Structure 1
């Protein structure tokens, strides 16, 4: 099914502006995918949420996609996008690519132009390359899953 962009509602919030329903939806989606679906027990509450902005994309009344927008010097020297996730029902529609395009633009709007670094699961390298990221470093293990840092260089 093709994504109908007009059906999406987007919100960008600093952590302290979440209402309880948004916070619950965000934590539930992250847990559904990163803990349950990927069968990975890890501490999702890593104290970076409070320092970040959060991009939430709703389709109808459901949170369909989410990304954490992290300022420079929190995860890496560069600004970063983390906890990138789409709901199971939204996969294969193009929402993931739309989420990344919006996340990149939101980082520039929030933090200024500059490089963006992510920690990507290795299987997703082609996806991130499709939105301008390149591998930058060696593969490393994070919570039992192979990851690699990827960099999107500032567009001049």
Structure 2
């Protein structure tokens, strides 16, 4: 792949070093693998040359212009107003905002089977059944 990129830089232009060639190769690979179309030209020093038509490329058919880039940056700096974000990770199953403690307990095979059967009847998890039983016990 590197050999394919180098000939375009040879000729009237000075030869670029392998670090810049690798950067160009990775940029081309990234643009191809993610299905994005970019028009990124660099000079001999590896500095991006702005496109003549002002369009850096497209993502899903949307032209990436300096104005769009400025809008995206401003939106990010303003904290993405109007956007809603969902929490990443496992949801809290105990109904509180704080992290639940994990407790390990030992039980007989009969107790385990009884919990599994009750969970199946209630369409709940074994943890839900154990928490419910514990809440009932602690209230009494």
TM-score in same-fold range (> 0.5): no
Q: Flag the structure with higher strand content.
A: 1
Band of TM-score, shorter chain: under 0.3
Q: Flag the structure with higher helix content.
A: 2
Q: Which gives a bigger RCO, structure 1 or 2 (Cα 8 Å, sep 6+)? A: 1
TM-score, normalised to structure 1, is: 0.22
